[in-house]
Amino acid sequence: MSASAERVTATRALELGGDRAVTRALRAHGALVYVFLYLPILVVVIYAFNEARLVQVWQGFSLKWFGEAWRDPTLRRGLWISTYTATATALLATVLGTAAALGLRNVGRRTRTAFDGFMYMALITPELVAAIASLMAFVTVGLPLGPLAIVITHSIFNVAVVTLILRARLAGMDRSLEEAARDLGATRWATFVQVTLPQLLPAVAAGALLAFTFSFDDVVLSTFVSGPGSTPLPVEIFSALRFGLSPKINVVAVTTLTITVTFIVVAQVLLRRAERRSAATLAAEVTDA
Amino acid sequence: MGEPRWLIAPAWLWMVTFFVAPLGFMVAFSLGVNEGFFTVKFGLHADQFQRLWDPLYLNIYKDTLVLASIGTVGCLLIGYPFAYFLATRTSKYRTLLFFLVIVPFWTSLLIRTYSWVLILNEQGPLSSFMQTVGLIDAPLDILYTKGAVLIGVIYDYLPLMVFPLYVAIERMDRSLIEASRDLGCSRWQTFRRVTLPLTFPGIMTGCLLTFIPMMGEYVVPTILGGAKTFLVGSLVSNEILTAIDWPFGAAVSMGLIAVMLVLIIVYLRVLGRRAEEGLGSVL
């Protein structure tokens, strides 16, 4: 039996004995899950173009709420605060996370396990717990609630995310190129700047974009640590929702979705590219330079 | 390659200062006593935990545990066959299909939850559809109930169940299934005795990752639950933001941490050395 025939049999075996009914059922279920995942997002987008003042009733296509929402001073302010806190969070998390991922390559197994455990705890702890713990600490030591407090609390989760993304990328990288550079007499710093960093950059950018997105969308942490006058956009929406629905919320939702989905798509494409970019092409570049 | 080891120090210090230390403050608050508006007497008082040990509050924990359990099982039942479907696609489509699961997961949880208000309300599209088809003869009455909260948490956390399951199924040695079938096992026997044990770390990881955030969920019950649904998350935020009883709020959160720690210990015990493989698959 040829290798390809073998693979075909194995794939069939994985599809539960090649049984067609099961395969079809799995396919139908898969399609339904995609509908489930995307229908709500589609609904928000459609309703943002609804003319009606009463959100629940469809009255016809209109762009008027876009104008209303974008002129609203509270929402504009919220958008501005979200944007700059998310940018600061992303920068901070990217610097700390990238450094940590690089350092982790050279530490012993025990240190690495401890550090990993730490990062997983930060990822897994319910946001609500992290939020009120931070609130209590800030108020006790006298750190004012507001933009700084928002950036600090948002950074915890994101440092962990960036570290893990970069570590995965570093693990998939060919170290022989760095070794070659060192053997050829490059200094540690030159090796880092000319060999390691170029390979790492797409993943660094992806980590930064994901950190921005997370921070930009966060509502739980910000609800507790944003002071008066520094309410980010999601918290504005969250409190508006408790008082009732408004067509403006749909517009804000679509605007936010557009920004974040763009960032996520770019981040994922960067990560994929980085994985695919072979050591061979990089070697060629190094020789050219 | 020659990066110095101390590069991990800044992140380490940062996490200790802003993640671990605040948790210490929370423990201190939970052992304190409230003495009026914004005045807390610190010490080693068990008052908050005694207060917590009351059927009123224990029932809130029970309700939340039930909701998180049903939500986790729901995610598993939907997520397992879905992850199986994903992992068995040809590699060309697999990347795209997997990507389509990541995107909604990284977009705003608030907006994704809010959209269910639009879908589930009495005059919403689902209600009119079901009435037209004849499934129900009165407007749909599910928004602002526990049912709506359940839909919301399953929707929000399904990807967290799918990621580890997908990795586990993809990594599985496929020839074992073939062997099992060749040796005369039925499809069901093969699934139960080969596929299921091999993907067990994925199942455990998925359940851990969905159950914990569901226990501490605060946004979903606030938006979809209405006044009748009062979960642990609502209790915590109520004590912190409205009642301004921080020691008690801290004690309630300690309950969440206790649940989390128990689950992690069970997870590590059950999986042993396979735990790292399970958790490492998530990112």
CB contact under 8 A, B155 and A36: yes
Q: Could A264 and B250 be called an inter-chain contact, meaning their C-beta atoms sit closer than 8 Å?
A: no
The mean pLDDT of chain A is 85
Q: Does A106 touch chain B (CB under 8 A)?
A: yes
pTM, rounded to two decimals:
0.89
Q: Is residue A145 within 8 angstroms of chain B, CB to CB?
A: no
Write out residues 84-103 of A within 8 Å (CB-CB) of B: 95-97, 99-100, 102-103
Question: Per the CB < 8 Å rule, is B95 touching A140?
Answer: no
User: Exposed, middle or buried: residue A139 (CB in 10 Å: 0-12, 13-18, 19+)?
Assistant: middle
Mutate to test the interface with A, among B15, B207, B257 (most CBs of A within 10 A): B15
The radius of gyration of chain B from alpha carbons, rounded to an integer in Å, stands at: 23
Count of all residues that appear for chain B in the document: 283
Do the Cβ atoms of B29 and A136 come within 8 Å? yes
Q: What is the model's pLDDT at position B163?
A: 92
Residue whose tokens read 């946004």 = B219
Considering only CB atoms, A253 lies closest to which of B11, B114, B260, namely B114
pLDDT at res. A213 = 94
Read off the tokens for A239. Answer: 């409190």
**For B184-219, what is each residue's pLDDT tens digit?**
888 888 888 999 999 999 999 999 999 999 999 999
**pLDDT given for residue A289 in this prediction:** 47
A197 near B CB under 8 A: no
Q: How far apart are the first and last CA of chain B?
A: 23
Q: Report the alpha-carbon distance of residue A177 to residue A198 in Å, rounded.
A: 12
Residue A106: what pLDDT?
A: 87
Quickly state the pLDDT bin for A67 (edges 50, 70, 90): confident
Give yes or no for a contact between B223 and B150, defined as CB atoms under 8 angstroms apart.
Answer: no
Work out the pLDDT band at A221, boundaries 50, 70, 90.
very high
Paired with B41 in beta bridges are B33
Alpha-carbon span B30 to A136, nearest angstrom? 11
Residue A122, pLDDT above cutoff 70: yes
pLDDT band at A277 (very low <50, low <70, confident <90, very high): low
Estimate the crossing angle of helix B246-271 against helix B21-30, to 10 degrees: 120
pLDDT in tens, chain B (283 residues): 567 889 999 999 999 999 999 999 999 999 998 887 778 888 888 888 999 999 999 999 999 999 999 999 999 999 999 999 999 888 788 888 998 998 888 889 999 999 999 899 887 888 888 888 888 887 888 888 899 999 999 999 999 999 999 999 988 888 888 888 888 888 888 888 999 999 999 999 999 999 999 999 999 999 999 877 899 999 999 999 988 899 999 999 999 999 999 999 999 899 877 776 666 655 4
DSSP type of residue B34? E
Give the per-residue pLDDT at A70.
81
Mutate to test the interface with A, among B5, B8, B105, B165 (most CBs of A within 10 A): B8
